[in-house]
Chains A and B, each alone.
Chain A
Amino acid sequence: MKGIELKNVSYQYPLTEAFALKNINYTFEKGKFYGIIGPNSAGKTTLCNLVRGLIPHFYNGELSGEVLIEGKDVREWDASQLSTKIGYIFQNPFTQISGVKDTVLEEIALGLENLGIDKEEMIDRVINVVKLLKIEDLIKKNPNKLSGGQRQRVAFASIIAMDNDILVIDEPTSQLDPESTADVFEIINMLKSQGKTILLVEHKVDLIAEYSDEVLVLRNGQIAYSGTPSEVFSNIELLEMGAAIPQAALLSHDMQRLNKPFEYITITNEQAKEQIMKRMGCVNGIN
């Protein structure tokens, strides 16, 4: 079963001449983890809105081309059915709290109530995601009184509790500290191993390099590069278009410039370590 196909997709927000997305052609295959990077305003969030069906069901504007979700055009899908199929975690953590529940526990359960999940299972699922996100100490708190980082984790938990087949995740770690960020990526990796299709928009490319199967670089509404992390991140040109590349790749390029290159452009610390030790003929460490 095909995942999500975009064929010649272009989109303009209402009353805007500039194209937010221009001639996008891409297929997101089922069960893969896609990292989407690029400078701000490149169209990453617009792409998320599109795949999730918010364009055209919530946002008007001019949409051309075909967006096929599991073979059916997004315009033919019922908006309510899409919400059971595709989970969406938004960029702004401050506006994802529902405002109708007084405890974090009930907030996380809200999506499950809407899906008609029975109480036993609801409670089990909520307990699971609370443990995963390590937010046990937050369950009694009022969701409207949480800090940005806490809200981000609660919003994340609320969506993954819904167990959708496809997840669209827009910058879930912007307010999080390094430890929570690492937790989130591990969880996303785990979800992928459960067979879910993941689209993740992120700026933290070191982690994207480590976990994703494919990387898309967006710029000015178009796909500038796509391929495996190794293929994409070895391009130093990415820097000129406002996309970041992993530190290990930058290191590789620096060494190359000094005529002491690695065998290939490394994109993770592990790869860099292996290359350095090989080069120096060491087994355990440099010294």
Chain B
Amino acid sequence: MGSIELKNVTYAYPNGFIANENLNLSISSGERVAIVGQNGAGKTTAVKLMNGLNKPTKGDVFVNGVNTKDKTTAQISSYVGYVFQNPDDQIFNSNVKKEIEYMLDYLKLEQKEIDRRVDRAVELTGIKDFLHMNPYDVPYSTRKFISIAAILAIETPYIILDEPTAGQDVYGIKALTKLMNVLQDEGKCVITITHDMEFVADNFSRVVAMANKQIIADGTSKEIFWSEDVVKKAKIKKPQIGELASDLGVGENIILRNELVNLLSSKY
């Protein structure tokens, strides 16, 4: 059982601007955590501390007991996979299959192992039809899945998805949900930054809310969404059903549709 630990971490850019202040967070392997908060709250810089892209200015970050300051980003990344918010910042090969295999070739794995991993990544992300195309000839939302596949192929125990739901349609969201379920069954830890409150309610039991460079709350999705204080400070909002439940004054902290349906059908 490993974990990612942030202990009293402050992070400032080279130009001095402080992006994260006093972060304390502990995520165990196998957990599923959603990180929410307004744009600019420091979510992306915080997760980049977890894979070593950012090194703390003050405090320490430990991945499975190893201090990130003692290793290069590449070394830590073999444990913590990070999928960029903009897939175009990550994809650079002119062929989808090559993009996914790229890291595996670098690691000099056996061809059989490479094939197995590529097949698995393609299966999980549903991009089989696009394998031999140029990534820039496919829609943006599909490119997102290609960038996810490339990281899945590395088979890291921790995976960070930075706004995977942006621009996705119903099929895309379903695919993401299925993907996260499979990863959890495999014992992987998934950390996701997202603005999609329905997605959070449907898929995450643990939510970390950030505001103004700090973590302001860390609890279950129900606790977070039904805390007016946190919702206001982090500038998030309840999922639609949660808002409806709140308007109705149901008295129970409801965030899922089936919960509301059960409640209503028992009261009708």
Q: Do chains A and B touch in the complex (CB under 8 A)?
A: yes
Cβ of A60 under 8 Å from chain B: no
Interface with A: B1-9, B27-35, B233-241, which one? B233-241
Cα–Cα, bound, A175→B237 (Å) = 16
Cβ of A3 under 8 Å from chain B: no
Question: What is the minimal beta-carbon distance from B148 to any residue of chain A, in angstroms?
Answer: 15
Of the candidates B86, B169, B261, which one forms a contact with A255 in the assembled complex, judged by CB atoms under 8 Å apart? Answer: B261
Cβ of B40 under 8 Å from chain A: yes
Q: Is the CB of B244 within 8 A of A177?
A: no
Cα–Cα, bound, A177→B166 (Å) = 10
Cβ of A39 under 8 Å from chain B: yes
Chain B residues with Cβ below 8 Å from A176 are 39, 195
Cα–Cα, bound, A40→B250 (Å) = 37
Chain A residues with Cβ below 8 Å from B268 are 260, 279-280
Q: Contacts A174-B167, A242-B170, A244-B170 given; indicate if A269 touches B243 (C-beta within 8 A).
A: yes
Question: What is the minimal beta-carbon distance from B22 to any residue of chain A, in angstroms?
Answer: 22
Interface with B: A4-12, A144-152, A155-163, which one? A144-152
Cα–Cα, bound, A242→B141 (Å) = 14
Chain A residues with Cβ below 8 Å from B170 are 39, 203, 239, 242-244
Of the candidates B169, B171, B248, which one forms a contact with A277 in the assembled complex, judged by CB atoms under 8 Å apart? Answer: B248
Chain B residues with Cβ below 8 Å from A280 are 267-268
Question: What is the minimal beta-carbon distance from A100 to any residue of chain B, in angstroms?
Answer: 21
Of the candidates B163, B198, B247, B250, which one forms a contact with A269 in the assembled complex, judged by CB atoms under 8 Å apart? Answer: B247
Chain B residues with Cβ below 8 Å from A250 are 257
Q: Is the CB of A285 within 8 A of B261?
A: no
Q: Is the CB of B240 within 8 A of A178?
A: no
Interface size on B, residues (CB 8 A): 43
Report the tally of A-B residue pairs with Cβ distances under 8 A: 114
Contact with B along A68-95 (1 / 0, CB 8 A): 0000000000000000000000011010
Q: Contacts A174-B167, A178-B235 given; indicate if A255 touches B264 (C-beta within 8 A).
A: yes
Q: Is the CB of B257 within 8 A of A39?
A: no
Cβ of B142 under 8 Å from chain A: yes
Question: What is the minimal beta-carbon distance from A122 to any residue of chain B, in angstroms?
Answer: 28
Interface size range on A against B: 35 or more
Chain A residues numbered 233-278 whose CB sits less than 8 Å from any CB in chain B: 239, 242-244, 246-248, 250-251, 254-255, 258, 260, 269, 272-273, 276-277
Question: What is the minimal beta-carbon distance from A114 to any residue of chain B, in angstroms?
Answer: 27
Question: What is the minimal beta-carbon distance from B172 to any residue of chain A, in angstroms?
Answer: 7
Q: Is the CB of A242 within 8 A of B171?
A: yes
Chain A residues with Cβ below 8 Å from B38 are 177, 179
Cα–Cα, bound, A176→B265 (Å) = 36
Q: Interface residues, chain A, CB within 8 Å of chain B?
A: 38-41, 91-92, 94, 147-150, 171, 174-181, 203, 206, 239, 242-244, 246-248, 250-251, 254-255, 258, 260, 269, 272-273, 276-277, 279-280, 284-287
Listed A/B pairs (30) with beta-carbon separation below 8 Å: A39-B169, A39-B170, A40-B167, A40-B168, A94-B86, A171-B167, A177-B195, A178-B197, A178-B235, A179-B38, A180-B39, A181-B195, A203-B169, A239-B170, A242-B170, A243-B170, A247-B198, A247-B240, A247-B257, A254-B261, A255-B261, A255-B264, A255-B265, A260-B265, A276-B264, A277-B248, A280-B267, A285-B250, A286-B250, A287-B251
Known: A38-B169, A175-B163, A260-B265; 10 extra A-B contacts, CB below 8 A, are A40-B139, A178-B195, A181-B195, A203-B167, A243-B169, A243-B170, A244-B170, A254-B258, A255-B261, A255-B264
- Which 3 pairs between the two chains have the least Cβ-Cβ distance? A285-B249, A247-B240, A149-B39
Q: Interface residues, chain B, CB within 8 Å of chain A?
A: 37-40, 85-86, 88, 139-142, 163, 166-172, 195, 197-198, 235-237, 239-241, 243-244, 247-251, 257-258, 260-261, 264-265, 267-268
